[in-house]
Amino acid sequence: GENVEQHPSTLSVQEGDSAVIKCTYSDSASNYFPWYKQELGKRPQLIIDIRSNVGEKKDQRIAVTLNKTAKHFSLHITETQPEDSAVYFCAARGTGTASKLTFGTGTRLQVTL
């Protein structure tokens, strides 16, 4: 089955700096890669996603890149703010609309003043 690795497990950046979180996946058939932000005790919330037919997607300060050949994808957050502090999870989903999401192990991002 699919296996998703995520690094780093913790990341501390100063406000205004950029943060990059990286994930790799094992199943070349996976075709959908969402990123979720989870604040303490709350639900995972989708912040950006990318499909396998696209190499990059950007939404304001957040961007995701996908390298299908290498089977890795990354989340980039620019101009970080304290409210960006949370745990971020990457995920991968295979073919089939009802296919499950396989999550990475999470990255705890702390943005310091």
Partner 1 sequence: EPEVTQTPSHQVTQMGQEVILRCVPISNHLYFYWYRQILGQKVEFLVSFYNNEISEKSEIFDDQFSVERPDGSNFTLKIRSTKLEDSAMYFCASSAFTEAFFGQGTRLTVV
**Contact positions toward partner 1, by CB under 8 A?**
32, 34, 36, 42-46, 49, 51, 89, 91, 97-106
Rounded to whole angstroms, how far apart are CA atoms 33 and 6? 13
3-state SS, residue 106: coil
84/93 with CB nearer partner 1: 93
Least Cβ distance, residue 40 to partner 1 (angstroms): 11
64/91 with CB nearer partner 1: 91
Rounded to whole angstroms, how far apart are CA atoms 90 and 73? 9
Count the Cβ atoms, other than its own, within 10 Å of residue 104: 23
Least Cβ distance, residue 88 to partner 1 (angstroms): 11
Q: Do residues 77 and 10 touch, judged by C-beta distance below 8 A?
A: no
73/89 with CB nearer partner 1: 89
